[in-house]
Amino acid sequence: MQDRQALLATLQNKASFCRRETIRLIAIAKSGHYGSVFSAAELFALLYYHVLRYDPTRPDWPDRDRFILSKGHAAVGLYPLLADVGFFDPALLDTYTRLGSPFGDHPDMRLIPGIDFSSGSLGHGLSVGVGMALAARVTGRSYRVYVLMGDGELDEGQVWEAAMSAAHYRLGNLVAIVDRNQVCVDGLTADVMDPEPVADKWAAFGWRVQEVDGHDLDTLLDRFAALPDPASAQPTVLIAHTVAGKPVSFMEHRFEWHLGYLAPEDQARALAELDEQVGGEP
């Protein structure tokens, strides 16, 4: 039990680190996606410090698990974790969005070690994940493919074509994660294009469906530990119910913070609230 509690504390600290670094890097760019990163911070931390199989000294290791950040605008929160686990020198992050930097608003797999998919227009990630999972089947490898999507992204028809394909090809090595924060750039997802019933739709497409609090690391640990064997025949989707902007009080549930910039006084307030959450920096 103590080991689990220590793991949970580490993961919570890494999620806070992700949020704090996001604030720091967006201060360099003067614009960025706070809300989208903050809703996914626990998921990022769990994946990179506990779930994913990878070797930062060999970014192209054939047997590594693949992670596709389909909601690529949240890359500003992923970059610090990739540096922290050893894919590249953390000092390089100080060039974020500057001319000639490999680190842009969306990730580029040609320039950044540890990135498996160059995102841009939303809705493509699950299709790429289907291809990678099929490749594992063809080559006899046992890796999993994880695809993190935003719930606004579910408006894209290509997502559902990929979902149908994954079930048809019996890709039990494919795990989709929907960051169900109910916010997109234009407003609340329920107002822009209501995706409900989300769980029923995925089930109708033949997926194993799990719903979970995307900020509850204790439950998330159990859900990822209970994933079926990669050789199984049914893809899994985890619908992670999250809060955009969490835990910064003036950002939570606010689509205005999907993309924005913190003035110095607001940045200080946000950092203070992060300190209160975990008792200071990790």
pLDDT value for 278: 65
pLDDT in tens, 227-251: 999 999 999 999 999 999 999 999 9
Please check the confidence at residue 1 and state whether its pLDDT lies above 60: no
| 256 vs 107, more confident | 107
- Tens of pLDDT, residue by residue over 155-202, are 999 999 999 999 999 999 999 999 999 998 888 999 999 999 999 999
Question: b/e for 244-279, b at 16 or more Cβ within 10 A?
Answer: bbbbbeebbebbebbbbebeeeeeeebbeebeeebe
For residues 95 and 2, the model is more confident at 95
Domain boundaries, the chain: 2-278
Q: Is the pLDDT of residue 267 over 50?
A: yes
Can you give the pLDDT at residue 185?
84
Q: Which CATH superfamily is domain 2-278 in?
A: Thiamin diphosphate (ThDP)-binding fold, Pyr/PP domains (3.40.50.970)
Is the pLDDT reported for residue 282 higher than 50? no
Quick one: pLDDT band at residue 206, thresholds 50, 70, 90? very high
